[in-house]
Amino acid sequence: MIEKKFHEKIDVMSKYFLIMDRTETIRKSGKVIRVSGNVIYSEGPPDSKIGELMDVQKSGKEGYLQCEIVGFEGHVYTLMPLGPIEGVYPEAFVFSSGRKLAIPVGKELLGRVLNGVGRPIDKKGHIITKEERGPDNDVPNPLDRPIIRDILMTGVRAIDGILTIGRGQRVGIFSGSGVGKSSLLGMIARYTNADINVIALVGERGREVNEFIEIDLGKEGLQKSVVLAATSDAPKMEQVNCALLATSIAEYFRDQGKHVNLMMDSLTRFAQANREISASNHEPPITRGFSSSVFSKLAKLVERSGTSKSGGAITGFYTVLTEADEMEDPIADAVRGYIDGHIILNRKLAEKNHYPAIDVPASLSRVMARIAPENQNLRAGMIRELISVYNSAEELIRLNAYVSGSDPRVDLAIRKKDKIDRYLKQKIQERSTYSQAVQGLKEILEDDEQEKEEF
């Protein structure tokens, strides 16, 4: 008993020694020479590096503003704030912290809600662990990535049956605003068979953060999740770090052999925040104000997910906002080239109260053909084609202008329409297993052999 208490005391003290070890005792300094918008320019501190954290003195008793170096020209550094800029004054002292942004990682993170720089906002106390991770880590060697072979059960029938996803796959969820992205992410987080969820809410409205946690995610989902949130009013550097740190947390758990779902809402806000930062560095835009560095950062962020030699995997779900529901948006177009599949949410389906509003013919899982059984692939393909056939003839059907018997494929699509719709619709509170999803496909198509032959 005495020995146990002795070891517990040593373990507690080691945490404080760790904090002292991470604290810089000798600090280099510089001064503020210019403030433009939300960007601070400082002369010094000397020998500072990109990504290093700085403390900028504020007036009176307001303390210090933490900033991150994002660029320099000569000895003049470009600093992006990680908090409100009010209170910064001319020639204010700028102190080097001697370190980069880092977040504590460990099982202590589960069930916690953090801001974009890794500080708890859920009033459950500080998080102290033995290990930290920075926001920027290297992309794994492509030859060190095992081939995706295992199916991930999401609990969403339309995805598991027709758009089967593999562990370690990167998937984009594309839609305009208000079509059900958050609800779909919440269903996946709640019902998936992954070990851990890491959720990054980047640039979301403040009201939506608590709604997502309380309603979409729920207590069941939060217990095995880590949530990072940088709301739309947060500094752009915090929004960027929210996405990067969430990926770092997911990498930590993957290295422990865990299967992690990394859910990011949204990549578009991450790109827009990077656009503002690149503008402060006077980078030339190439399309719609986005510089080339924005696209390279997007690619690196997505590539950090995937399988690993550790036996763990990160399955990435990245939402992408499409302006006016157009897929030709430059961010949407670029992301499609980085990922292994896309789920398109259709506003017309949402307007018909069809949730989740997944546009099945327009959506694709690039690994399904390899990981799902042959029969499932065949049935999923048949249903995709039936939906496409019905959609192409929908206007004639709606106007009663279609003559029954003129096209056997259209006739079959009409007969199967109600069954397919019932299969694809799913309430938020309804959980579906992978076997139920596969069986549902079979039941839609097995009425009689004649229908199969017609198709």
When the pLDDT of each residue in the chain is averaged and rounded to a whole number, the result is 90
Q: How confident is the model at residue 3 (pLDDT cuts 50, 70, 90)?
A: very low
Q: How far apart are CA 300 and CA 286, in angstroms?
A: 19
CA–CA separation, 134 vs 304, rounded Å?
13
pLDDT at 4 over 80: no
Cβ burial, residue 303 (10 Å; 0-12/13-18/19+):
middle
pLDDT at 88: 94
pLDDT tens by residue, 128-174:
888 999 999 999 999 999 999 999 999 999 999 999 999 999 999 99
Tokens of 148: 């995706």
Q: Report the percent of the chain where pLDDT is more than 70.
A: 91
pLDDT for the residue numbered 15: 57
Calculate the alpha carbon distances from 93 to 31, 54, 63, 248 in Å.
5, 10, 11, 32
The pLDDT value recorded for residue 446 is 81
> What local confidence, expressed as pLDDT, does residue 7 receive?
47
Question: Phi/psi at 137 (nearest 5 deg)?
Answer: -120, 160
pTM: 0.89
What's the pLDDT at 220?
Answer: 82
Average pLDDT (76-88) is 93
Residue 25 confidence class, pLDDT cut points 50, 70, 90 = low
Rounded to whole angstroms, how far apart are CA atoms 455 and 438? 20
* C-alpha distance from residue 451 to each of 268, 397, 408 (Å): 44, 20, 9
pLDDT at 242 > cutoff 90: yes
What's the pLDDT score for residue 310? 87
Q: Considering the chain, what percentage of its residues have pLDDT values greater than 90?
A: 72
Cα 170 to Cα 339: distance, rounded to the nearest angstrom: 5
The mean per-residue pLDDT over the stretch 326-354 comes to 91
Tokens of 40: 């601070």
Judge whether 151 and 167 are in contact, CB under 8 Å. yes
Report the phi/psi class of residue 27: left, alpha or beta, with left for phi > 0 and alpha for psi in -120 to 50: beta
pLDDT(233) > 80: yes
Could you tell me the domains of the chain?
Answer: 26-100 (2.40.10.170), 103-371 (3.40.50.12240), 374-454 (1.20.1270.330)
* Per-residue model confidence (pLDDT) at position 448: 47
Residue 397's CB is within 10 A of a number of other CB atoms, namely 14
Q: What is the pLDDT of residues 381-427, one digit of tens each?
A: 999 999 999 999 999 988 888 888 889 999 999 999 999 999 999 99
The count of C-alpha atoms lying within 13 angstroms of the C-alpha of 329, restricted to the half-sphere facing its C-beta, is 19
Per-residue pLDDT reduced to its tens digit, 88-119: 999 999 999 989 999 999 999 999 999 999 99
Mean pLDDT for the stretch of residues 32-55: 93
pLDDT, average across residues 57-68: 89
pLDDT recorded at residue 420: 97
Of residues 14 and 234, more confidently modeled = 234
Kindly compute the dihedral angle of the four CA atoms of residues 276, 210, 229, 247, in this order, to the nearest 10 degrees.
-120
Q: Is residue 68 pLDDT above 50, yes or no?
A: yes
Report the C-alpha gap between 343 and 159 in whole angstroms. Answer: 9
Q: Which helix (H) or strand (E) holds 18?
A: helix 2-21
Half-sphere exposure of 54 (CA within 13 A, CB side): 34
At residue 10, the pLDDT reads 45
